Every structure is written in structure tokens, then in C-alpha cells.
Amino acid sequence: MPKILTQFSSHANTIADTFRAAFVKTRLGECTVDMTAPEESTRGGLFGLQHLTLKNPSGMAVVVGSVHAGEKRAELRAFSLVARVHEERFKQPPSFSEGDYAAFLAKAEPILAAFGLEVSTVVELPKARLSDAPDPLGASSRADPPTARLRAWLILVAILVVACGGLLWARQLFGP
């Protein structure tokens, strides 16, 4: 039975299908071009991040860009960044030239822009911080750890007080 997709995940799948179709016969060196797509709801686009990848024959991939349809933006990585990540991961330079990669970017950008995405080129990866991750529950529904710990202790003390009070009351009512 096919899964029913939400508006955002359906749109993201359309972008991915179009992108894949445009690059179905394209190879950069030994690598094929691919794009991920959500398989279920993206919770209103919150979890709609898709990755553009170059996969080598062994199936291992290097991320060369990302698309966030919910935020209407796409980022394509510059060759210098892709080459550096490729060398770090595979211990060898990429199997494609800077010119080949530039031709790939020149073809990818208008395809993504046709979906109303603002396309930019990234030269450096941002330093990831835990605070940058989206909060799926919303900031107001999450207590910070010290407050949550204090609340847990207060609940435990309240339970113990009620239990002791109940034992004392039962002892007075029924005797020792």
C-alpha cells in the first residue's frame, strides 16, 4: 500500500524526482548524482532536509548540497569543499575535475531555482551546534535540565510525604 505524503513531503519528492531525472545519465568521474527524498511526513517542512550526493561505485556518497523545500532554500557546495571532504573520507582526491563539477553546478542551479528555491554556494561548512537543531516540540514545552531535575525531585518528595502521611493516618485509625 503506498504511503500518503503530506504537502511538504510530496513537494520534496517532486523536487527529488525531477532532479534525479535531469541527472540520470550524468556521471562525475566514477560518481552518479542522487538526491534524497522524504518517505513520510516532514512535519510541516520542519524535517524536510534533503541531500544532494555523489555516489561512487561502492555506494559510498559525498554530500554536495542540500535542499530545504520548507524554507525554500538550496545550498550547493563549492568544489574546494567537496574535494576536501572527499579526500578526508576516501583518502584520495575526487575522480572528477573542477571543470566537471562546475558544469554539474551550472545544470543543478536552474533546476532547483525552478522550484522557487533560493540557491546559494557554500564554501565552508558551519560548525554544528546542538542549539542549532530544530526543536520538534517547541521551546516552551521543554524544560532545561536543571529545572527538570528539580521538578523530578519535588514530585518524589511529594509522593513520599503523601505516602508517610497515609501510613501515619492508617496507624492512628487502626492502632499499632
Same domain, 73 and 103: yes
Are residue 50 and residue 99 in the same domain, yes or no? yes
The helix (H) or strand (E) run that includes residue 10 is helix 7-22
Helix (H, G, I), strand (E, B) or coil at 119: strand
Tell me which residues of the chain have a pLDDT lower than 70.
1-7, 40-48, 128-146, 176
pTM higher than 0.75: no
Domain shared by 117 and 68, yes or no? yes
Q: Which domain holds residue 117?
A: 7-126
Report the number of distinct structural domains present in the chain. 2
Round to whole Å and give the CA distance between 150 and 127.
32
Q: What's the pLDDT tens digit per position in 88-134?
A: 988 989 999 999 999 999 999 999 999 898 999 988 877 754 445 55
